[in-house]
Structure 1
Amino acid sequence: MSNPRITAVLFLASAAVLAGCESNPLQVQRSPCPAVAIPTYTGDTTLFTGSGQDAANIDVVATMTNVREACSETTESFTSDITYDVVARRTSAAGARTVTLPVFATVVQGGNLLVSKQVGAVNVDFADGQARAIGKGGARGTVSRAVATLPPETLAKINRKRKAGDLDAAVDPLSDPEVRAAIRAASFEVLIGFQLGESALAYNVTK
C-alpha cells in the first residue's frame, strides 16, 4: 500500500458497457477477500511527556506503514492476514526503552457495519542512543464465504450479455439500486490503526 493514510471507503468495481458491441466483454472483477485500509487520522500517534500537546512536550511519534495483505480461502471463509511496520522516533535517545502502542483491527461490512473488533499492542524497542526504531504488527480478518459471495442472480444482472439496439445496452448495471446493495452487503474491509483516545484523535485531526 503506497499511502497508508487513506480514508477507508467501499470500492465498487464498475463494468463498462459499450454500445455497438455484440456483447459486454468486461465483467465485474471483485475479490471476496476483505480489503485492508487504515482509517484517516489513525495511522499516526504522538506521545507527550507533559500534559500539553505541543512540540516542546513531544516524547514519541509513530507511524503505521508497509501494510501487506495475504488472502487465503477455505470452503467456509475468506481470510486476510495483514502485517505492518510501526516506525517510531523518540525525542530523547538516552537509555534503552520499550514503547508499547495500542492498535486495533476491525472487520467492517458494507463500509459502515462493524462485524468485529480486536485491540492489541505493538512494542517498539529502542536501544540506548537509538532515536528511531521499528516494531512489527499483524492482524487477521475472516469473513464467511456465503456472505462475501455475490448471489447468482446479482452476477447474472451484472454480466448479462448486451447487444446493440437493446434498450438497456448502454445502462451501467451498477445503476440498479438492488445490484449496488448486494455488492455493498458482500463487501468487507479490515481496518487497522492506532487505538487513540479522544485527545490523541483530536490532535491528529488538527495537526
Structure 2
Amino acid sequence: MAASAVLLALAGCANKGELIEGGITSVRTGCPTVGVPAGTGDITLFDPPASTAASAIDVTGAMTDVRSTCTETGEDIVTQVTFSVNARRTRTDAPRDVQLPYFLSVVQGGSAVVAKRVGQVNLHFDAGQARASATGSASGTVNRAAATLPADVRERLTRRRKAGEEDAAVDPLTVPEVRAAVQRATFEALVGFQLTGDQLRYNATR
C-alpha cells in the first residue's frame, strides 16, 4: 500500500491507482503537480523598509485560489496556473497602486529548477479603501519525453503480483534505479511571491 500511495502522490494531475492481486496499477500523466512553496504565499511591505515592527506594516498580500489547467499535445506539456491576490494596506488616505512580484518555477525531481518566470500583480486601492484584489497567471512547459517513465520501469511498477511470489512483498520504489527514474520523471509547477531574503526570513519567523 505504501508504494501505491507514493505513486499517486507523484502522478500529477488526473490520476488513479489500485492494488490488484498484490500488484500496483496506476494511470500517470506528465502533468506537473501545482503548489505554493512554504513561506512564499504571503508578502509584507514595511514603511520604513528596514523595519519589521508591526507598527511599520504598510501592505500585506496573500496568494489564494491557485488553479491549473494542463494541456498534453505534441512534444510539450503546458501547465497554465491562475491565482488571486488579496491585499490590505494600512494608510488609506489617498489612492495608490502597488505591484507585487511573483514567480512560477518548474522543478524536476523535487529539487532541480529547470525553468523560472517572474511577473507582477498590479493592485489598485481607491482613496479610503483598505483592501484590493487582483488575479495573476503564468505558464510552465515540460518536455513530454522527460516526464514519461521508461517502459521497463513502468512495467516493474504495474506488474501484477500474487501472494507467495518472491517479489510480492517488495515495494518497487525501494529499488534505487526505479525510485530514481520516478523522481526524474516527476515535475512540479510552483508559484509564489518573489521575496527578498529579508521577506522570506520574516515569513519564516513571524
What is the TM-score when the length of structure 1 is the normalising length? 0.88
* Count of aligned pairs between the two proteins: 194
1:34–1:141 Cα contact (<8 Å) kept? no
Alignment-derived partner of residue 6 in structure 1: none
Instruction: State how far apart, in whole Å, the 2-side matches of 1:171 and 1:125 are.
Output: 57
Q: CA deviation at 1:140?
A: 0.5
Instruction: State how far apart, in whole Å, the 1-side matches of 2:31 and 2:52 are.
Output: 39
Instruction: State how far apart, in whole Å, the 2-side matches of 1:176 and 1:15 are.
Output: 20
Task: Classify 1:35/1:67 alpha carbon distance in 2 versus 1 (closer, same or farther; 3 Å).
Answer: same
Instruction: State how far apart, in whole Å, the 2-side matches of 1:164 and 1:104 are.
Output: 48
The runs of 4+ residues in structure 1 deviating greater than 2 Å are: 11-18, 28-31
1:78-102: CA deviation from partner (whole Å, max 9, x where unpaired): 1110000011000112221110011
Instruction: State how far apart, in whole Å, the 2-side matches of 1:37 and 1:137 are.
Output: 15
SS of the aligned residue for 2:10 comes to: coil
SS of the aligned residue for 2:25 comes to: coil
Instruction: State how far apart, in whole Å, the 1-side matches of 2:126 and 2:68 are.
Output: 30
Q: CA deviation at 1:201?
A: 1.1
Q: CA deviation at 1:128?
A: 1.5
- Give the AA of the match of 2:33: A
Alignment-derived partner of residue 3 in structure 2: none
Task: Classify 1:178/1:82 alpha carbon distance in 2 versus 1 (closer, same or farther; 3 Å).
Answer: same
What is the TM-score when the length of structure 2 is the normalising length? 0.88
Q: CA deviation at 1:31?
A: 2.9
Alignment-derived partner of residue 101 in structure 2: 102
Do structure 1's residue 150 and structure 2's residue 149 form an aligned pair?
yes
Alignment-derived partner of residue 46 in structure 2: 48
Instruction: State how far apart, in whole Å, the 1-side matches of 2:40 and 2:195 are.
Output: 7
1:33–1:71 Cα contact (<8 Å) kept? yes
1:58-82: CA deviation from partner (whole Å, max 9, x where unpaired): 1101001100000111121111100
RMSD: 1.9
Do structure 1's residue 201 and structure 2's residue 200 form an aligned pair?
yes
1:105-137: CA deviation from partner (whole Å, max 9, x where unpaired): 111100111101111111111112111111111
2:34–2:190 Cα contact (<8 Å) kept? yes
1:34–1:142 Cα contact (<8 Å) kept? no
Bigger proportion of residues as strand: 2
Percent of aligned positions that are identical: 49
